[in-house]
Amino acid sequence: MPAEGLVLAVVGPADATQTPGALTVDQFIRLESALTLHTWLVAGTGDSTISDLKSRRLGQHVSVVPDPLDALKRAALFSLAKLFISPLTFDVTRTRVPGWAEIAAASATPIVDPQDIETIASIAGNPAKLKALGRAQRLAALTLAGLESGAGKIDELRVPPRFKDDRLSVRQSPRLVIASHDLKFADGLLAELDRREVHYEVDQWTGHARHDEARSRELLRHADAVFCEWTLGNASWYSKHAPAGVRVTSRFHMQERSVHYVDQLDWKRLSALVFVAEHARQEILRDHVVEAEKTLVVPNMVGVPPQNFSSTPEQRFSLALVGMVPVNKAIHTAFDTLEELRAVDDRYRLHIRGRLPSSYEWMNRRTAERTYYEQQFARIESSPLLRDGVNFVPYGDGLFEWYEHQGVVLSTSEFEAFHYSLPEGAVRGAVPLSIAWPGADLIYPASWLASDASDLCAKIIAATRDEDIWNARRSEAREFVASRFEESRVSKRLADVILGSF
């Protein structure tokens, strides 16, 4: 395989209205001749298209396969690809069956419009530029489609019909077991269960797969339903041991993607697998054997305090970044952004809150990561634009109060599941702005998102250039979070799924 990697394209008839994102055969031939260092995987739509492609005597670096016409099989193709080339006219709406563009966005594959062949060819060997172009064109596609965000309101979330047939037997006070090693994201749910006077017992696991099995069996003897917070060994064990008639639900955040307990679930006994974000659901559907009809998304919940925003002269120019470890937090992007900002206005300052890399014992064993952070700290000292513009704030209590004194809350990560900093900062008066990590536009508005450091810089300046604009953006962001993620509304939705009380 050529060193530059594999490119995926969908090729169909010129009037292929059923396959948004398809190239014509002639478009593909022109692109293929420009990207000669790449291996091509072409999904052909229809027998006539495949015959036409094969008649063109394509090189050995081009493989043609039939369009699998199945979301999971299409997703499997994206797991192989480095780049997806598709016109910006593709359908980015949320349809019943995800199309090529939706799957590409969820699978972290950059999407590039074929219009400017020379640009594509010139940057195809540069992963950072390619990723930025893919982000930019994804956001442009949302704009063209008139979609500010792919995120739906809580009230619009639909429960698959199968869930409605799998509810608890009628009981005035159902008995629930909550199994987890960590309930830090479950406070709102517990409050909702208390409000409903649901009797629940916590099965406290001591690790991903460690628990007192005798206690778990005893709790299960009296349970009507089980909720596994985090899809780890707890979900595997309860899905295999819960008797018929006991409803078993598990919630998948994103950290679980690296340990593969999802492969150990007994789907015959699992009633529902709840994801906190659509891109997390799509990734698991792509890479694992999962009963898709038993999955749904209920987003993370965010406490929304009364609006009481503070405002000081310097606050607008105060940028907040929470967490710099691990490397995927990409603090180099934050520094790139800050340098561009301070070249325009030296009032901007970056406040990074969290533990220093040196405080993590495991960092000593990861030479490449340790070197990365050493380079970034050296950069602060060597750059006149950074030297007086970066402030490190120790990890500790008072995070919410700290947000109240920030003008902008940032996410520069390469990847996140949800990134609580954005909505938690937003409801306390900081304008949320983020690099468009894969799946971000399925959660947050496109106006919050940027393709790279330069784009992020421009969006920060636009949001803070005067106090009236900044205040309007703060209020808009708070409204968005309240309408999608407000704790009491989301916790009701999650409790309904757990108890089967739709």
Predicted pLDDT of residue 325: 95
Predicted pLDDT of residue 94: 41
End-to-end CA gap in the chain: 51
DSSP per-residue string spanning 17-44: TTSTTPBPHHHHHHHHHH-TTSEEEEEE
C-alpha span between 250 and 180 (Å, rounded): 10
Q: Residue 498 has what DSSP assignment? A: H
Burial level of 260, CB count in 10 A (0-12/13-18/19+)?
Answer: exposed
Torsion of CA 82, 88, 90, 93, to 10 degrees: 100
pLDDT (tens, 9 = 90+) of the chain, 502 residues, equals 233 568 899 998 866 555 667 888 988 888 887 777 778 999 998 888 999 998 987 878 899 999 888 877 887 888 788 788 887 654 444 443 457 766 776 666 777 888 777 777 777 677 788 788 878 877 876 776 665 655 544 444 445 545 554 555 445 678 999 999 999 999 999 999 999 999 999 999 999 999 999 999 999 999 999 999 999 999 999 999 999 889 999 999 988 988 889 999 999 999 999 999 988 888 888 788 889 899 999 999 999 999 999 999 899 999 999 999 999 999 999 999 999 999 999 999 999 999 999 999 898 889 999 999 999 999 999 999 999 999 999 988 999 999 999 999 999 999 898 999 999 999 999 999 999 998 888 899 989 999 999 999 999 999 999 999 999 999 999 999 999 999 999 999 999 999 987 5
C-alpha span between 317 and 341 (Å, rounded): 10
Q: Residue 486 has what DSSP assignment? A: B
Predicted pLDDT of residue 150: 53
Burial level of 449, CB count in 10 A (0-12/13-18/19+)?
Answer: buried
Predicted pLDDT of residue 95: 40
C-alpha span between 166 and 500 (Å, rounded): 7
Which amino acid is located at 402 in the chain? W
CA distances from 251 to 189, 192, 399, 421 (A): 12, 16, 26, 21
Which amino acid is located at 66 in the chain? P
Predicted pLDDT of residue 139: 81
Predicted pLDDT of residue 209: 94
pTM over 0.75: yes
Which amino acid is located at 169 in the chain? S
Nearest to 301 by CA among 427, 471, 476, 435: 427
C-alpha span between 194 and 186 (Å, rounded): 12
Torsion of CA 402, 406, 408, 410, to 10 degrees: -30
Coil, helix or strand at residue 158: coil
Predicted pLDDT of residue 1: 29
- Token pair 């909702």 in the structure block, residue: 192
